[in-house]
Amino acid sequence: MGECHYLEGNYEAQFVISFAHEIMKEIGINPKRLLLEWASSAEATRFVKLMTEFTDEIKGLGKLGESEDIEEETLRIRLEAAKEALEKAKLRMAFSKQAVKLKQKREKGEKIDLTLSEGLKKMIKDEFSLHQIILYLQKSPYSSSNLAKKLNIAEAEVEKYIASLEKKGRVTVKESIPVPVYIIKN
């Protein structure tokens, strides 16, 4: 690290990969599907070896979602939720803030930890979950318990997200007999 002739490029790349791996974790995608390795232009043999090994690894994993045991529709919703979460300024701004802090530490000669902060990890999880809920509710009404099963999280967490979406005017209760069922508010 730090040997890149662009000085900070490899640190920034590693941080981006950490961010991407966290998103992949939330989606349920095997992190082996994204690899970052260093090879200079003088290391053609190493580059070919890395690419061959990575290609073999991906072929071994099979079609996206297969080795992860994610149904195609669930995978589609998770990918769309991740895309929508990443398009919002909230996550991009938080990522940028942590990247700037890392750069400042590097400039001061301080030790750099390229792992994501717990706050950023929580924000990724929250934004991803919120967008999944929205996507599911756009398709059909759901109770919080059914959403919890779809998202594989605790019902209390879903209720927290629903409350947030209700407060923003995005979700409303369609019916509450025997339990509340939520829909996207038009």
Q: Please determine, for residue 186, whether its predicted confidence score (pLDDT) is greater than 80.
A: no
Average per-residue pLDDT in the chain? Answer: 91
DSSP state of 169: T
- Model's pTM, two decimal places? 0.86
DSSP string, 45-94: HHHHHHHHHHHHHHHHH-STTTTTT--HHHHHHHHHHHHHHHHSHHHHHH
Q: Please determine, for residue 149, whether its predicted confidence score (pLDDT) is greater than 80.
A: yes
Residue 11 or 182, more confident: 182
For the chain, domain boundaries: 9-75+89-116
Q: Do 31 and 25 meet the contact criterion of CB atoms below 8 Å apart?
A: yes
**pLDDT tier, 5 (very low <50, low <70, confident <90, very high otherwise):** low
